[in-house]
Amino acid sequence: MNGQGRRGFLKSAGAAAISGSASRILGANERVNVGIVGLGGRGTDHVDTYAPLENCKIAAVCDVNQAAGERAVARVEKLQGHKPKAYSDMRQMFADQEVDAVSIATPNHWHALAAIWAMQAGKDVYLEKPACHNVFEGRKLMEARQKYGRMVQVGSQGRSHGHKIKAMQLLRDGVIGKLYMAKGLCYKRRRSIGHTPDTPVPPGINWDLFLGPAQMKPFSKNKFAYNWHWFWDTGNGDIGNQGAHEIDVARWGLAQGALPKSVVSTGAKFVYDDDQETPNTQLCSFDYGDCELVFEVRGLITTAEGGLPHRGGNVIGDIFYGSEGCLVIDYAGFQVYKGEKLEKVMDEKAVEKEDWDTGVHMVNFLRAVRTRDLRYCTAGIEEGVLSASLCHLANISCRTGRKLAVDPAKWEFVGDAEANRMLTRDYRAPYVVPERV
């Protein structure tokens, strides 16, 4: 589908999806005014995806990088024909009464606090995955959503994709019998980031606001822009980046709505000598008693696995194993294999790009904003926090070097003070996720 066709699809989908009953905030014929926080690669995708929706106006943009903000203003003006307000401090955007909802595409360490601040200011929230940077933050997010009654959609867009919804229903219906394992694969080729020296903060960047909840440290190129993913203070490695999607699908397919009984994860950064702190190779296992969720990160050259193809050097998706066969799924479709010979009995393709990109997920979010109906948040905060928490549990096991027993009811580890301290972080005032939201 060409660009014009894609824009037409999103316009018609948006008009249909958000034309429901009047909400407590917006009139039936009003547009949703969205503010976008974080204007890097993913934030630019947010601009491009919201812009074609007829009943959505990008009213404001915010970034700690002045140049990124200026680029976003120009982009919105080109796509929607008006200049949005520009902010460098998200708190000022959240105070703007013209903004109905905010879309958060900041680095991971800002996700929870930004969303909590937005909810406290009366905004609905689209929150990129992972929903939180640590387990404590996830619990506070769920409490805030309950307290303030906001619509919150986590950016696990697979939850809105038609072929994935169909595949999950087939698993529920027993298409491959009783499930005993789901394996998520994040074999995403990552090159070395090398070494970059500490330097003065470049003009136009508010380094204090970028670091936010993280402790103050000198600026370097590798700690900024995309490579913040590979530092523990700001990111969660590829398990919390690309892998958060596949872990979410794996847990969804297994129908597991709680934390596991235990977790064990091993891994390290192999081959490269560079600034990266997080593993580029990691293997995790989550024990749910009657089934197991396995997840693997490989950032180096690797083979394909389980019927998932190489796509641009990457092997990304999920494999479900049952008593009668297997189901293999990625963004492009799914296949079902049955019997001892694993004969292919179903091959479902995503019909169009719009079936698997972010557009339909944002349409669902806007529909929730309009109707005040949480059912349209197909990836609600509870689901997002649970999937993110699996990433965090695995990282803690990997960093402590041991298998960890989990108390799902208390959201903590059993008898391990060191591991429990890693469920939260040492916040830097005033950027503190509060105990009481």
Report the sign of the C-alpha dihedral through residues 90, 96, 97, 103, in that order.
Answer: negative
Q: 123 vs 24, 331, 371, CA distance in Å?
A: 13, 31, 14
Q: What is the pLDDT along the chain (437 residues), one digit of tens a residue?
A: 344 444 443 443 333 333 333 333 565 447 899 999 999 999 999 999 999 997 999 999 999 999 999 999 999 999 999 999 999 999 999 999 999 999 999 999 999 999 999 999 999 999 999 999 999 999 999 999 999 999 999 999 999 999 999 999 999 999 999 999 999 999 999 999 999 999 999 999 999 999 999 999 999 999 999 999 999 999 999 999 999 999 999 999 999 999 999 999 999 999 999 999 999 999 999 999 999 999 999 999 999 999 999 998 899 999 999 999 999 999 999 999 999 999 999 999 987 665 458 999 999 999 999 999 999 999 999 999 999 999 999 999 999 999 999 999 999 999 999 999 999 999 999 999 999 99
Structure confidence at residue 30 (pLDDT): 77
The residue among 339, 308, 304, 336 whose CA lies nearest residue 323 is 339
With beta carbons less than 8 A apart as the criterion, state whether 162 and 416 touch. no
The residue among 355, 369, 378, 332 whose CA lies nearest residue 9 is 355
With beta carbons less than 8 A apart as the criterion, state whether 245 and 158 touch. yes
Tokens 């190779």 belong to residue? 281
The count of other CB atoms within 10 Å of the CB of residue 317 is 27
Q: Which domains does the chain have, with CATH numbers?
A: 3-159+358-379 (3.40.50.720), 161-350+385-421 (3.30.360.10)
